[in-house]
Chain A
Amino acid sequence: MKAITFALRSFGREIRSGEVIVLLAAVALAVGVLTAVGFLTDRIGKAVARQANEVLAADLRLRSQEPVPESWQDAAAQYNLQTARTQTFPSVVFAGELSALATIKAVSDAYPLRGAVRVSDTLFGEQRTVDNVPPRGEVWADGAFLARVNADVGDTVQLGESELRVSAVLTYRPDQSVGFASLAPSLLVNIADIPATKLIGDGSRVQYALLVAGRDDDVDEFYAAVEDDLPDAIRVSDREDGSERAYRAADRAQRFLSLTAVISVLLSAVAVAMSARRFAHRRMDTVALMKSLGATQGFVITVAIVQLVLLGALGVLIGSAVGYAAEETLAWVLADIIAADLPPVGLMPVVLASGSALVLLVGFALPSLLQLRNTPPLRILRHDMMPPAPSRLLVAGLSVLAVAALLYRAVSDPWMLVILLAGIVVIAAALYVVGRLLVASMGRFRSGVGVAWRYGLANVARRGRASAIQVVAFGLGLTMLLLLTIVRTDLLQGWSKTLDEDAPNHFMINIQPHELDSVGGIFEAAGIERPEFVPMVRARMSTINGEDVKTRSYPDPGGEWMANREANLSFAANLSSTNEVIDGEWWPPDYDGPPLVSVEEEAALETGIGIGDKLVFKVAGQDIELTIASIRRVNWDSFQPNFFMVLSPGALDNMPTTYISALKLPQEQKSVLVSLVRKHPSISVIDIDAILQQVRGIIDKASLAVQAVFVFTLAAGIAVLFAAVQATIDERRFESAMLRALGAPRRTVFAGVMTEFGALGLAAGVLASAGASILAAIVAVQLFELPYSFNPWLWVSGIAAGVVLVCASGFVAARGAVNSPPVDVLRAA
């Protein structure tokens, strides 16, 4: 009790006297970084997830061939969730004399719960976002449908027994699918108009859906509550299967943000450990004095722990405020770019940051403070008496546990945790060993050069272990910064490569062979390059190496589905630029032999087939036997038409072939599509601009978040460098004063300090470059599924950054030491 009151009282004094400011700053910085990153990842994560949810137009979708019972809607309402209903079915729609098959999407008032519908007032005109659904008696129709039936906005269409007025061109709905499954252009109508059409009766092919959205917790609770009671007929989709592509981008972004948070935590940990050491060291005299005055070990340790807790609390308070302020500022600055409807921040990041601060302090500050307990009271008479160093096992154990705990929260993936931990331990050990080697080798360079050089190198050598630890700290911080830089660059490049500005924004499908010239001519007449037409033949696989595809066993359920579905085959003389042969060989352009096939990598893997296997496809009643000649990797993100099975030229001659084409059309040239669909009503034009915009939006937000978080991490890294220099500042002040008292000019003292930091920075830079290269390769391949390529600039920039950052920190930190008047320093000692 006495110790607690004492600790409380003296804590106030310590704060006032500025003694604990360094450590407090380190903790506050750690919490600030964690909170800011936490807030940001929380919000960006939510925004990205919400964007991904757009693909469902909801957070959760219950879909069935039967009407979804009212009771589920009521249940959702009990969890404060918004709901909307949709009915989707194909129907032939008439406009005057003409008719076309359309997908009817009937929606209730709240639709869509996520995302927004976009319409335009003329065919292929400017789009605008609307926040309502078609009023009763009206319909919003796809441009392709209107073109096909030669209708326009303002005309009337016949849907079943109802007449509805076309009041806008439907250009985008969040849940339209990109695939070829819903080929028919869609019509958006009010669900209340459907009964009057009398289109829905027994045996109609209607998909009913109940859309649900709300706060994440509420959605999760609702789903958990109803999951078991849902009949099999109801299929539930959530964001994870909403859109694979969007989800993959979001998933990468979240993993990246987690990784960034982890790196910030590690840097903060290093800063906390360093300043705790300094804090403990500076308190040794006081502890020795207190012990000589009769304080027990228990007293000393209670004081230390109470103060640690107080420090943690204060650090959390300041750090959360800083983090929150930083996040708010960032959100405000980015308000135009990040969608304005970013979900509000939860308090969770503060709670997590507080927990992390505690873990940080226990893992990294406690060992140094525990060491204080063993300060010999004799130190009061003999200043060189030091407490025995804390047990290495304890220090290593606590810090590894703490890092593991913090890492696990961030990556929540045991395999990743092991990789990261191992990487960190290996790099730290390597840095330490090389640090010691460097220190040991300094001696031989000392003679024969100027006094500043000798003084600098002597310092590195004399501080021995401390120098090596500094190399480890600098090196580790630098490794993280470099790793982040490469991974970020790789990621952004990876993303932008897959979605560059030239990505096609329109698909034309169902082009008949005899239409190719005419279609090409229409584009050429409008001054647009003739698009490339890719052939497509519908087929069904019947046997694999003579085995029936229905009875064969597959390594993956995906393979079974792949083998049994109706397949689209294509043929080509040359390999598409978005494909890469990874096994076997592509046939020569003039190949004329027996039919060969090139299979997509994952399809081959899941189906369990490889080079030389024989596939038989049934095409228009004929069997075609194909031999697998190569396995291809396909960049599906390219939005170019691609196929699982590409055949050699001639293999599909005389088979019923249609063509598809992907092309990039700027807004001002879109009018060409009106004449295209008027002249060739059977060709479907799919406008994927909206979908591309959606995907780009996700990626933009994700990369923006990454860059913002990167700034925080950079700040944490620099803080570590400063903490490291700060740790030796007393010693430096004294030495510099002594050298100057002995007549050394300030410039010489500075040159010495720079030599020392330059040597440390060089070592740290070399090691960090090596470490970051290795880690980046692992991370790129294991985590982001991106290929990794060696980058020599990493070494140049790593070493340069090491020398420059360490020298700059050294200069800033040591300037004060070199400049303090020698007489003051020597008197105070």
Chain B
Amino acid sequence: MNNDLRNGATVLAALGISKEVSSPEGPLTILSDVTFSIQSGESVAVVGPSGAGKSTLLALLAGLDLPTSGHVELNGHNLGKLDEDGRARVRAESVGFVFQSFHLVPSLNALENIMLPLELAGAGDPRAASLAIIEQVGLSERFKHYPAQLSGGEKQRVAIARAFALEPAVLFADEPTGNLDSRTGSNIMKLMFELNQESSTTLVLVTHDLSLAERCDRVLTLEGGRLVSDSKAGS
């Protein structure tokens, strides 16, 4: 990874991004002129009520979708200038995901799911690397199990292992504990923060759980598609 980016350099920036979609009642603004930047190694929570535009912001930051205006810079790339394949390449080299509903490939077992991004990025020995990381998430006994044979917490551990396998510059987590009970959820978050510290990855966490948000370095609050506050955690 780019070490110079880890030393406080900007790794992710939203520059005046807006998102409009068409609806039967005319254009609907989901995000409106959102600007901020995130330094390498920071952990940032995006909070706000339902419909505030959190997931849309995440999609734009990760290049899964394009803003109507403004642009996103991710790890030195202006995403607006890249086509879909270009954005995919940026994701392959610098982005990891953890989703609320896990999104494991049902036809692949736990280990194969972890190997997937490594294979996509053409990494050296995907199997060895995956075996190492599956041990870190405490699932080395169950690596041959398919998603259907795993509990919710176990699935999310696999998803986290998969997200960290490539040591991405930025890890996006979308309500990672939303489908888990509180005890499992807090274990999962503990694991995620630990891994985040070890690999000094930048973490962007979308959540409506304020106690979770407070464990991050910074909290961005969205309301009605606008960025209403950008504060250090606890302040």
Q: Which residues of A come within 8 Å of B, CB atoms?
A: 2, 5-6, 9-10, 13-14, 16-17, 19, 285-286, 289-299, 376-378, 380-382, 828
Chain B residues with Cβ below 8 Å from A378 are 59, 64-65
B side interface size, CB within 8 A:
32
- Interface residues as binary, B108-136 with A (CB distance below 8 Å gives 1, 0 otherwise): 10001000110111100000000000000
The 8 Å CB contact of B64, one of A17, A286, A381, A828, is A381
Apart from A6-B119, A293-B117, 7 more pairs, CB < 8 Å: A2-B119, A2-B122, A292-B62, A297-B88, A377-B64, A380-B99, A381-B59
Chain A residues with Cβ below 8 Å from B59 are 378, 381-382
Chain A residues with Cβ below 8 Å from B148 are 828
* Complex contact A297–B64 (CB within 8 A): no
* Complex contact A17–B85 (CB within 8 A): no
If A378-B59, A378-B65, A381-B174 touch, whether A294 touches B91 (CB-CB below 8 Å) is: yes
* Complex contact A296–B174 (CB within 8 A): no
Dominant SS at the A interface? helix
If A381-B59, A381-B174 touch, whether A293 touches B91 (CB-CB below 8 Å) is: yes
* Complex contact B99–A377 (CB within 8 A): no
* Complex contact A381–B88 (CB within 8 A): no
The 8 Å CB contact of B97, one of A16, A286, A293, A295, is A293
Q: How far is the CA of A352 from the CA of B200 in the complex (A)?
A: 59
What are 14 A-B contacts defined by CB distance under 8 Å? Answer: A2-B119, A14-B107, A17-B108, A289-B103, A290-B116, A291-B84, A293-B92, A294-B89, A295-B92, A296-B84, A296-B88, A297-B88, A378-B65, A828-B148
- For the complex formed, measure the closest distance between the CB of B144 and the CB atoms of chain A, giving whole angstroms: 12
The reply on B95 being an interface residue by CB < 8 A is yes
Chain B residues with Cβ below 8 Å from A376 are 64-65
Q: How far is the CA of A294 from the CA of B85 in the complex (A)?
A: 8
* Complex contact B120–A293 (CB within 8 A): yes
Q: How far is the CA of A40 from the CA of B112 in the complex (A)?
A: 45
The 8 Å CB contact of B108, one of A13, A291, A294, is A13
Chain A residues with Cβ below 8 Å from B189 are none
If A2-B119, A13-B112, A380-B99 touch, whether A294 touches B105 (CB-CB below 8 Å) is: no
The reply on B15 being an interface residue by CB < 8 A is no
If A2-B119, A381-B59, A381-B174 touch, whether A292 touches B97 (CB-CB below 8 Å) is: yes
- For the complex formed, measure the closest distance between the CB of A291 and the CB atoms of chain B, giving whole angstroms: 6
Q: How far is the CA of A16 from the CA of B64 in the complex (A)?
A: 31
Q: How far is the CA of A346 from the CA of B24 in the complex (A)?
A: 63
In this complex, what residue of B is CB-closest to A287?
B105
In this complex, what residue of A is CB-closest to B66?
A378
- For the complex formed, measure the closest distance between the CB of B72 and the CB atoms of chain A, giving whole angstroms: 14
* Complex contact A295–B88 (CB within 8 A): yes
Chain A residues with Cβ below 8 Å from B84 are 291, 296-297, 377
Chain A residues with Cβ below 8 Å from B88 are 291, 294-297, 377
The 8 Å CB contact of B58, one of A297, A299, A381, is A381
Chain B residues with Cβ below 8 Å from A296 are 84-85, 88-89
If A17-B146, A294-B95, A295-B88 touch, whether A286 touches B105 (CB-CB below 8 Å) is: yes
Chain A residues with Cβ below 8 Å from B116 are 290, 293
Q: How far is the CA of A294 from the CA of B84 in the complex (A)?
A: 10
* Complex contact B93–A294 (CB within 8 A): yes
Q: How far is the CA of A828 from the CA of B90 in the complex (A)?
A: 32
* Complex contact B120–A17 (CB within 8 A): no
Q: How far is the CA of A378 from the CA of B92 in the complex (A)?
A: 15
Chain A residues with Cβ below 8 Å from B89 are 294, 296
The reply on B140 being an interface residue by CB < 8 A is no
The 8 Å CB contact of B120, one of A297, A299, A380, A382, is A299
The 8 Å CB contact of B91, one of A285, A286, A292, A298, is A292
* Complex contact A13–B107 (CB within 8 A): yes
Chain A residues with Cβ below 8 Å from B103 are 285, 289, 380
In this complex, what residue of A is CB-closest to B108?
A13
Q: How far is the CA of A411 from the CA of B214 in the complex (A)?
A: 74
- Interface residues as binary, B137-155 with A (CB distance below 8 Å gives 1, 0 otherwise): 0000000001010000000
Q: How far is the CA of A5 from the CA of B88 in the complex (A)?
A: 19
